[in-house]
Amino acid sequence: MESPCLLRHLRDELDAFRDCLDGDLSVPVEHCGTWTLRDLAEHLGGSNLWAAAAVTEQHGGHEPGAAPRDRAGLVRWFEESARTLLDALDTDPEAGAWTFHPPATVGFWQRRRALETLVHRWDAEHALGRARPLDPLLAGEGVSEVFDTMAPRQVARGRAHPPSRALRLEATDTGAGWTYGPGTPAATLAAPAEQLLLLLWGARRCRAGRSPGPATAGPAWRSSPAR
């Protein structure tokens, strides 16, 4: 996806997540361990500030601090974090930035923040019982990111093993496809891009697809892989 499209999605997803903060902040977020919606808001807002600093300060050591405990303060803090992030990212995507995986550009963060916010918006809405669909093309971008950034990152850090056999994923709504691992795919999963992305991030079970043999869909990560 091009930079203007990613930034537009990021703005929309940040606004949608902020709308969730009018709901019950104590509701548990099913796919984020013991987190409540308030915890998720603090994580996403803190990650906004952390990513903004990676662009403006050129390092990954920024610690954003705790969010306010009261609802009004939390909402203002989150809105400010979103503005700070958008201001930092509204620049040339080829400009340099600190990143936790190549490329070391602002474009990396435009993509990463749009995709993290997409998934966490869904987490928040799902917790409140009102999850809306994911944009299919953006969800497909998220699947690509898992295989070109997240999985290699986890392997490099010793948190996951490289696959011994290939897995094929096919998005039935966009026509996109991905192969992860060496050789001929041992299995193929076919589903809408939204379901594939949520499966990879641990928010869906494998229900769709065709499989000629055993394979695994790989690891699912629910917190920031750069921390």
Which pLDDT value is given to residue 213? 32
Which pLDDT value is given to residue 205? 56
Scanning the structure block, which residue is given the tokens 């803090």?
77
Which pLDDT value is given to residue 77? 98
Which pLDDT value is given to residue 62? 84
Helix (H, G, I), strand (E, B) or coil at 18: helix
Q: pLDDT per position in the chain (227 positions), as tens?
A: 999 999 999 999 999 999 999 999 999 999 899 999 999 999 999 999 999 999 999 999 888 889 999 999 999 999 999 999 999 999 999 999 999 999 999 999 999 999 999 999 999 999 999 999 999 999 999 999 999 999 999 999 999 999 999 999 999 999 999 999 999 999 999 999 999 999 999 987 554 443 333 233 333 344 444 43
Which pLDDT value is given to residue 126? 98
Contacts of 40 (CB under 8 A, 6+ apart): 29, 32, 120, 123, 124, 127
CA 32 to chain CA centroid, Å, is 13
CB-CB contact of 52 with 143 (8 Å): no
CB-CB contact of 171 with 192 (8 Å): yes
Whole-model pTM: value is 0.90
Helix (H, G, I), strand (E, B) or coil at 120: helix
| Size of the chain in residues | 227
**Bridging pattern class, strands 166-171 and 185-191:** parallel
In a 10 Å sphere around its CB, with 0-12 CB exposed, 13-18 middle and 19+ buried, how is residue 129 labelled? exposed
